[in-house]
Structure 1
Amino acid sequence: MGASIDEIAARACVSRQTIYNHYREKETLFIAVVADVTARANAAVFAAFAAFPDRPEKLREDLIAFAVNLNRNCLYNQDGKFLRKLIQSEASRYPHLFEAWREQGPCKIGTALGAIFARLHHQGLLKVPDCDVAARQFTALTNADLQMTTLFGETPTELEIEVAARQGVDMFLRGYGAHTC
C-alpha cells in the first residue's frame, strides 16, 4: 500500500484516471490484487489436493509427497511469498483488507484439507477426532522448520522442504496414525 496511484499507473502503463475509473480508490485496488493473488495461490493448492490419492497404499509416503508438493508449489512459490510479505507488512495497519483473504485462503484450504483427513479417517488410515484441528496441525508441523527461513525473505531449499515434510508427517502420524490408541 506504500506505492502512490501515480506509481501504480506508471507501472501498469495506464493513466491515473484509468485506475480510478476501475477501482475508485487505492484500497479497492489493493483488495483486488489480494483477491487475484489468493485465487491463483488457491488454484495451486487445490491442484495439490486433487493429486492426493483417493485410497493411499503408502500413507506416510503419500503424505510426505503431498506436503512437499504443497510447500514447494503453493506456500513457497512466488504468489505464496508475495501474500506472506504483504500480510506481514500491511495486516496490522489494514486488518479489514484481509478478511476476504482469510475466508478464501486459509479457511477454505483448511476445510478442504480437513475433508481429506476425514476421508482417511473413514478408511481407517487415521484416527482423527477433529479434522479441522488436524488440518491446522498438519500444516503447522510440515512448515515449522521452514518459518525462520521465510521470515527473512529467503526461499527454503528443496532439501529443507523435504526434511520438514518428512519430520512433520512423522509427528502427525504419531498423533493421528490408525495404530495410535
Structure 2
Amino acid sequence: MNAPHAPDSFPPRGHEAKRASIMDAACSVFCREGFAGANIDLIAAEAGVSRQTVYNHHGDKEKLFVAVVRDLTERCNAGIFTTLASFPDRPAAIEADLVRFAVCMNRNCLCNRDGKALRKLIQAEGERYPELFAVWREQGPGRTWPALAARFARLALAGHLALDDPDIAARHFMALVNAELQTTFMLGGTPTEDEVLQSARNGVRAFLRAYGGREAGAHRSEAAAS
C-alpha cells in the first residue's frame, strides 16, 4: 500500500516552475469554482505542491486571486500590444485594413486562453469583488485603451477618419467588431474563424459609417451613385 504524500514529498522543482504551476492551477480553479468556492487545498492539489508552498508564494487566497488577475492582465496586454503593431497607420484600403486588424485583435486577444479566462473572472466576480480587479483596471484598460486611441487619432489627422474623441472612437471600434461574438463568449464557447471574420467585417462597416473620413465618404458616394 502506498503511503500518502507528505507535504514535502512532491518531485523537486525550481521556484519558477512551482510558481507557474500554482498560477495555472489557481486560474483554472478560480474560473471553475469562483472566488468563494475556491480554496488553497484544491489549488495546491491541482498544482502538485504543498498547501504551505502556496501560502509561501502568495500569502492567502485573496492575494493569490489578485496575482492571477495581474498575470492574466500582463499576458493579455502583451498580446494586445503585439497586435497593435499591425494597426494600419497608413491604410491602402481602410475598410479591408481595419477588418484585418480587427480579426487579429479578436483572435489573438479575445478568443485565446488568457482572454477567455480574464473575461470569465471579470464577468463572474467583478460585481461582487471589485477591489480584486484594481490591477486590471489600472494596467489593462488603463494602458491599452490610450494606445489604441492614439492610433485612431493618427488616422483622423491623416484624413482617413472623422472623429472628435479618439478614446470614444476606440471603444466604439472594439465594441462593434466583437459584438456578434458576445453570445458565444457568454456561453463559454470559442467563435469559429468565419464568425470572427464576419463580426469584424460588420463591425468595421458600422464604424466607418459613423467615423469614416474622405476615403470612406468617397466609397459611400460611389455606392450611392451606382
- What displacement does 1:12 show? 1.6
Q: Deviations over 1:19-55 (max 9, x none)?
A: 1122111100110111111111111111110012331
The residue number in structure 2 matching 1:131 is 166
The residue number in structure 1 matching 2:112 is 77
46, 51, 59: which one pairs with 1:24?
59
Distance 2:62 2:190 in 1: 29
The residue number in structure 2 matching 1:59 is 94
- Asked which structure has the greater CA Rg, the reply is 2
Distance 1:97 1:127 in 2: 38
The residue number in structure 2 matching 1:108 is 143
The residue number in structure 2 matching 1:68 is 103
- What displacement does 1:110 show? 1.2
- For structure 1, the residue ranges without an aligned partner over 5 or more in a row are none
Identical columns (%): 58
Counterparts in 2 of 1:131-170, with a 5 A limit? Answer: 131-170=166-205
Pairs aligned (count): 180
- What displacement does 1:104 show? 1.4
Q: Deviations over 1:61-119 (max 9, x none)?
A: 11000000000111111111111111111112211011111221123221111011011
86, 93, 118: which one pairs with 2:121?
86
Distance 1:8 1:62 in 2: 44
77, 80, 99: which one pairs with 1:45?
80
Q: Say which is worse superposed, 60-69 or 90-99, in terms of deviation.
A: 90-99
Instruction: Give the alignment's TM-score, normalised by structure 1.
Output: 0.95
Distance 2:98 2:144 in 1: 16
The residue number in structure 2 matching 1:178 is 213
Contact kept? 2:88, 2:98, Cα under 8 Å: no
- What displacement does 1:6 show? 0.9
Superposition RMSD in Å: 1.2
- For structure 2, the residue ranges without an aligned partner over 5 or more in a row are 1-34, 218-226
Give the aligned residue type for 1:117.
F
Distance 1:108 1:58 in 2: 28
| SS class of match (2:210) | helix
Contact kept? 2:88, 2:101, Cα under 8 Å: no
